[in-house]
């Protein structure tokens, strides 16, 4: 596993760029399918700002870095687990691994087993990401054998899906939601 953000290769960056864009597209399609079934949700799930930014017509910024996911207690239910989400080395900027240095602190509560993953490199594309520093964000976290994804929303708007590279050695599985904040380092 790479020790610094500059150790991530251009091939890894390109692979995660495609993977995170595909995950974002799937999340948008899922929201569109939900709106088709329940039209009253259309206003809440409006994504009109983001497709322009993500098509290359507007600003395209990256969130990337090393993230850790550790079980930090019971989520209050009989089968619930809380996972603490943090980053020690992450950036928000116009190119992967360049830009404003940030840290992330958050949590997600859901169903799964005790998780303990450290220093997992993740990357995602987001419009206007620099404005997300210091803002409370909603998370959906999915950890399965071999991959981690962190969906980031501000209110009902989907902002980004951070994805890990292949080969993550997860010692369990987890799916849940919560919140967190990026802070300038």
Pick the most confident of 38-47, 65-74, 77-86: 65-74
- State residue 132's pLDDT score: 82
Task: Check which CATH number belongs to the domain holding 145 and give it.
Answer: 2.40.128.480
Domain count, the chain: 1
pLDDT exceeds 80 at position 48: no
- State residue 55's pLDDT score: 37
Q: How far apart are CA 2 and CA 18, in angstroms?
A: 20
**Model confidence band, residue 43 (pLDDT cutoffs 50, 70, 90):** low
Q: How far apart are CA 50 and CA 1, in angstroms?
A: 32
Pick the most confident of 26-35, 39-48, 105-114: 105-114
The pair of three-digit structure tokens given for residue 123, joined into one six-digit string: 């990357």
- Region of 30 please: left (phi>0), alpha (psi -120 to 50) or beta: alpha
163-183 pLDDT tens trace: 998 778 777 789 999 999 999
In 3D space, the residue among 120, 124, 128 whose CA is nearest the CA of residue 165 turns out to be 120
- State residue 99's pLDDT score: 87
Q: How far apart are CA 152 and CA 159, in angstroms?
A: 6
- State residue 1's pLDDT score: 40
Q: Can you say how many angstroms the Cα of residue 80 is from the centroid of all Cα atoms in its chain?
A: 21
**Averaged over 19-23, what is the pLDDT?**
89
- Region of 60 please: left (phi>0), alpha (psi -120 to 50) or beta: beta
pLDDT exceeds 50 at position 54: no
89-143 pLDDT tens trace: 899 888 887 889 999 999 999 998 778 888 899 999 887 665 788 999 999 999 9
The pair of three-digit structure tokens given for residue 180, joined into one six-digit string: 């967190």
- For all residues of the chain together, what is the average pLDDT? 82
Q: Which domain holds residue 86?
A: 5-184
């Amino acid at each position: 596993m790479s020790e610094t953000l500059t150790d991530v290769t251009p091939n890894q960056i390109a692979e995660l760029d495609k993977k995170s864009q595909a995950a974002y597209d799937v999340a948008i399609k899922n929201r569109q399918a939900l709106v088709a079934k329940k039209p009253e949700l259309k206003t809440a799930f409006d994504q009109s700002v983001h497709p322009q930014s993500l098509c290359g017509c507007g600003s395209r910024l990256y969130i990337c870095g090393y993230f850790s996911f550790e079980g930090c207690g019971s989520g209050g239910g009989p089968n619930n687990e809380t996972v603490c989400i943090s980053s020690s080395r992450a950036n928000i900027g116009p190119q992967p691994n360049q830009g404003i240095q940030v840290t992330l602190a958050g949590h997600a509560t859901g169903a799964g087993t005790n998780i303990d993953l450290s220093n997992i490199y993740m990357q995602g594309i987001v419009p206007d990401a620099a404005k997300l520093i210091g803002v409370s964000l909603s998370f959906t976290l999915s950890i399965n054998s071999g991959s981690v994804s962190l969906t980031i929303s501000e209110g009902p708007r989907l902002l980004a899906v951070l994805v890990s590279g292949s080969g993550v050695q997860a010692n369990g599985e987890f799916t849940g939601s919560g919140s967190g904040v990026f802070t300038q380092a």
